[in-house]
Structure 1
Amino acid sequence: MLKRLSAREKFEQLIADFEPLLRNAFMESIADIKSNIQIKRIVERLERNDIAGAFDMLHMEPAAFRPLDKAIAQAYEGGGVAAVSSMPAIKEPDGAKLVVRFDTRNYRAEAWLRDHSTGLINDIIADQRVGIRTYLTEGLEAGRGPRAMALDIAGRLNRATGVREGGIIGLTSTQAKYVASAHSELLSNDPVQLKHYLTRNRRDKRFDATVRKAISTGKAIPVETVDRMTTQQYANRLLLLRGETIARTETMGAFNESQMEAYRQLIDTGAIAESVVQRVWHTAGDSRVRDTHQGMDGQTVGFRTPFQSPNGPLLQFPGDPSAPASEIVNCRCRMSIKIDFLADLD
């Protein structure tokens, strides 16, 4: 006999289905940007100290993130369809069952998808501009050559696969700083800085013996090895983390917003009144839950009333993109919606 999944298990299954889709879409977008880069064009502009022009040569445009845009739309539709399938049976006045379908062509649904995807992609590009500009400025001031800097950004070509690997494209501006500081630590040949490098969680530990040898012997690590350790391996791991974070956060946001939209569409039919719809916040129920969200577990609000974090921020649902990043990044909470059919009888 097949086990009947709980609401939490159904939610986690949906997340498991769509998270890889969004992560792969983001990575596909970054790979496409890298594959179209002409290093010579970037080098020419860096030789003229034209950092803005060098960024323009990356051709990091909204259209490059079309795979991510499409994946968000798929997650949104998946969440809406799931919400409709879990709605309680609602009957027409004559006793017939009301047929409810999720409409992604609804004007609200289309507007949310358009505005949210545009905002997300524009934010990614704007942050890239900041991170790459800072990386280039500091690198050139430190005397790093234009070609080396161009490769630090775009990644180095794997001769066997013909694919660019590493590079800071796709990283947040903060992650780009991590790569730059790790690179500086390894080149310093300073035991204190080298030891600090060994505390970095996302480093490639296969090189730890190389770093420890440099500490014990005082012999500098070759520049080529440092490049491989940081702008290739370390950057690759940070990029994967970036993809996973975007996937989790965006899947959560799309699912919960589409769940809200599914009930808005039901209310539009007149079959139920908005006043009988309630929303409940549920945590993942383990030690990894944020302290603020622990205090929100079970919080019940009206259909349009936002949840409130103990720290103050208001959230329409877990993963609400309008809330501070500290409340939504990698959040694993979920929201349930219930209809109190007796609410309007008093």
Structure 2
Amino acid sequence: MTFDELLAQYEPKVAAAFREAIEAIKSSIVLKTIVERLERGDIAGAVAAVQFEPEAFAALEMSLREAFNAGGVGMVQGLPSLVGPEGLRVLFQFGVRNLEAERLIREQSSTLVTNIMADQRDALRLAFETGLAAGRNPTATALDVIGRVSRVTGRREGGTIGLTTPQVEFIYGAKGARANLLSGEPELMRKYLNLKTRDRRFDRSVLKAIREERPVDTAIVSKIVSRLSDKNLQLRGETIGLEETRTALFSVRDNAIRQQVEAGKITAQEVTKKWKHSCSEHPRMQHVQMATQNAVPLDMPFVAPDGTMLMYPHDPKAPARHRIGCKCRVEYDIDYIAAGLRRYRARTA
């Protein structure tokens, strides 16, 4: 399976696993418990009532592991075989139980889940505090956070569950979309019309309020914010699908090559790698420049103009500015002539 085929299969699968985890968490919430705790001013208790636990993300971790293993197999299947010292063909193989491979995927998945949970606690706290500070009663505040049950689907829609802290601030904060739409100030309300994640079906209502220089109707704002939340949750799922799938695939491709080195089938000196830019619409100029650099040995990092070192695109150790949204590739080149000569000499020695 090619790299593009792996991306096409696993990016949406990882994104779907994230959304399913969020749906399961939302369906387990007891509204009454959260309202009672908010009535007592117990923000921490309300946050704890939303049960974000590692077990909820088991399917997400499994989908990442599947992508990782498939990426390793796909990498070695794309490499031609060599002739060994005894004249037999040497097949490149990927060991799914390789200790380093196991460590890489375990560390990636556990870090992802840990980060989701930590940020979610902050996001929930912010949403509860913002709602109460704005004068909304505990029930309305709780529903704003956990979403309202749809009469059509029977599922909770809208809410902040699963959104990042910046997304919560962006939608529900004191200077967020909801506050702007309720402000009655044309300049602030007009900001909503620039949002890429808005539901355009509400544009006419917002434009009418702008013309009349009045706040958008409260009931309409609730619907607008609900759709904005759902679309931002979808966006977050897609972002996780892109980032985590690519991280898994690039790390396992590197690991698959190193497994061949450890097995003595090739040497690290016979492998070079080249940074390939994606030619995206809004490129990182540093990555464009990296693509013009010469190939580097397997064990050497690529060095960005700002001094950042990356072993491959989406290197987990690299800062977010070099990872988030990056669609660059890395191309490995094995000197098969040198490898063949080395094996021939070993066979005839």
* TM band (smaller chain): over 0.9
Task: Spell out, residue by residue over 1:54-90, the C-alpha distance to the aligned partner (whole angstroms, 9 max, x if none).
Answer: 1111101111111110111011011101110111322
Distance 1:126 1:204, change over 3 A: same
Picking from 206, 209, 222, the partner of 2:201 is 206
Which residues in structure 2 correspond to 1:76-87 (within 5 Å)? 76-87=68-79
Note the residue ranges of structure 1 that are not aligned, 5 or more in a row: none
Which residues in structure 2 correspond to 1:1-346 (within 5 Å)? 10-180=2-172, 181-230=176-225, 232-299=226-293, 300-341=295-336
Alpha-carbon deviation of 1:202?
Answer: 1.3
**How many aligned residue pairs are there?**
337
Distance 1:288 1:219, change over 3 A: closer
Tell me how large the CA RMSD over aligned residues is. 1.8
Q: Is the 8 A contact 2:79 2:92 kept in 1?
A: no
Question: What amino acid is aligned across from residue 314 of structure 2 in structure 1?
Answer: G
Alpha-carbon deviation of 1:220?
Answer: 3.3
Task: Spell out, residue by residue over 1:113-169, the C-alpha distance to the aligned partner (whole angstroms, 9 max, x if none).
Answer: 111111111011111111221222122111111111111111110112211111111
Aligned counterparts of 2:281 and 2:232: Cα–Cα separation in 1: 25
Secondary structure in 2 aligned to 1:100?
coil
Alpha-carbon deviation of 1:35?
Answer: 1.0
Q: Is the 8 A contact 2:72 2:94 kept in 1?
A: yes
Secondary structure in 1 aligned to 2:315?
coil
Task: Spell out, residue by residue over 1:154-200, the C-alpha distance to the aligned partner (whole angstroms, 9 max, x if none).
Answer: 11101122111111111111111111111111111222211122222
Alpha-carbon deviation of 1:329?
Answer: 1.2
Aligned counterparts of 2:170 and 2:262: Cα–Cα separation in 1: 49
Alpha-carbon deviation of 1:96?
Answer: 1.0
Distance 1:118 1:154, change over 3 A: same
Secondary structure in 2 aligned to 1:54?
helix
Q: Is the 8 A contact 2:247 2:314 kept in 1?
A: yes
Comparing 44-53 with 287-296, greater Cα deviation is found at 287-296
Alpha-carbon deviation of 1:219?
Answer: 4.1
Question: What amino acid is aligned across from residue 94 of structure 2 in structure 1?
Answer: F
Over the matched positions of the two proteins, sequence identity in percent amounts to 40
Aligned counterparts of 2:272 and 2:42: Cα–Cα separation in 1: 55
Q: Is the 8 A contact 2:185 2:215 kept in 1?
A: no
Question: What amino acid is aligned across from residue 89 of structure 1 in structure 2?
Answer: S
Alpha-carbon deviation of 1:102?
Answer: 1.3
Distance 1:254 1:222, change over 3 A: same
Q: TM-score, normalised to structure 2's length? A: 0.92
Aligned counterparts of 1:221 and 1:288: Cα–Cα separation in 2: 34
Alpha-carbon deviation of 1:342?
Answer: 5.3
Alpha-carbon deviation of 1:23?
Answer: 0.9
Aligned counterparts of 1:42 and 1:286: Cα–Cα separation in 2: 45
Q: Is the 8 A contact 1:61 1:125 kept in 2?
A: yes
Task: Spell out, residue by residue over 1:7-61, the C-alpha distance to the aligned partner (whole angstroms, 9 max, x if none).
Answer: xxx3222211211111111111111111111111111111111111111111011
Alpha-carbon deviation of 1:311?
Answer: 2.2
Question: What amino acid is aligned across from residue 27 of structure 1 in structure 2?
Answer: R
Distance 1:67 1:298, change over 3 A: farther
Aligned counterparts of 1:219 and 1:295: Cα–Cα separation in 2: 50
Alpha-carbon deviation of 1:343?
Answer: 5.7
Task: Spell out, residue by residue over 1:315-339, the C-alpha distance to the aligned partner (whole angstroms, 9 max, x if none).
Answer: 1111112211111112111111121
Note the residue ranges of structure 2 that are not aligned, 5 or more in a row: 343-349
Comparing 294-303 with 215-224, greater Cα deviation is found at 215-224
Secondary structure in 2 aligned to 1:295?
helix
Comparing 239-248 with 126-135, greater Cα deviation is found at 126-135
Aligned counterparts of 2:292 and 2:96: Cα–Cα separation in 1: 29
Q: Is the 8 A contact 1:280 1:337 kept in 2?
A: yes
Aligned counterparts of 1:155 and 1:206: Cα–Cα separation in 2: 20
